[in-house]
């Protein structure tokens, strides 16, 4: 039995760490939470903007925003499970981590998940609930 299954069977939480080039994606997905080394240490902000000639050689950006699709999918799955359109924001974060343990809002330019949700107002509607914010897919 693989080590990840043994740890989970024992009722423990499995948190993995590795680098992007050499980490097996199946290992990362089998963890409850997975972090890449480069996201743990903040890079110095000495980045230069690309020159016009370099910008032409750059590949076009991907057509869809993977973070937006992950958020949409998590809210939709929770809504289907509960049978209600509005779901708690905290349960969405847990669903996102279950769908992709490697997901980190910092990789998408936000300090935390709450900021990420606020920035994704075109994907989800937000309203204040009794104890937490509620989200619904637009």
**What mean pLDDT do residues 18-35 have?**
84
Domains in the chain, please, with CATH? 1-41 (no CATH), 63-138 (3.30.420.610)
> For residue 85, which of 59, 124, 52 has the smallest C-alpha distance?
124
Residue 103 CA to residue 50 CA, distance in Å, equals 27
Instruction: Check residue 58 and give its pLDDT.
Output: 52
**What mean pLDDT do residues 38-62 have?**
55
As a dihedral over the C-alpha atoms of residue 51, residue 37, residue 102, residue 50, rounded to 10 degrees, the angle is 0
Q: Helix (H, G, I), strand (E, B), or coil: what is residue 94?
A: helix
Instruction: Check residue 64 and give its pLDDT.
Output: 66
Instruction: Check residue 2 and give its pLDDT.
Output: 77
Backbone angles phi, psi at 86, to 5 degrees: -95, 130
Contact predicate 138/131, CB 8 Å: no
Residue 98 CA to residue 12 CA, distance in Å, equals 15
**What's the pLDDT tens digit per position in 28-41?**
888 888 888 777 76
CA 36 to chain centre: 13
- Note the pTM of the prediction, 2 decimals: 0.59
**What's the pLDDT tens digit per position in 88-119?**
888 888 888 888 888 888 887 888 888 888 88
């Amino acid at each position: 039995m693989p080590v990840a299954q043994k740890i989970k069977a024992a009722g423990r939480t499995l948190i993995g760490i590795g680098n992007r080039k050499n980490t097996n994606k199946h290992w990362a997905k089998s963890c409850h939470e997975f972090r890449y080394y480069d996201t743990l240490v903040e890079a110095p902000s000495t980045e230069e903007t690309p020159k016009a000639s370099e910008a032409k050689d750059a590949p076009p950006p991907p057509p869809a925003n993977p973070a937006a699709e992950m958020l949409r999918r998590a809210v939709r799955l929770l809504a289907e499970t509960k049978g209600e359109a509005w779901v708690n924001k905290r349960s969405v974060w847990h669903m996102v981590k279950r769908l992709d343990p490697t997901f980190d809002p910092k990789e998408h330019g936000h300090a935390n998940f709450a900021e990420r949700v606020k920035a994704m107002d075109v994907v989800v509607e937000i309203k204040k609930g009794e104890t937490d914010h509620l989200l619904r897919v637009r």
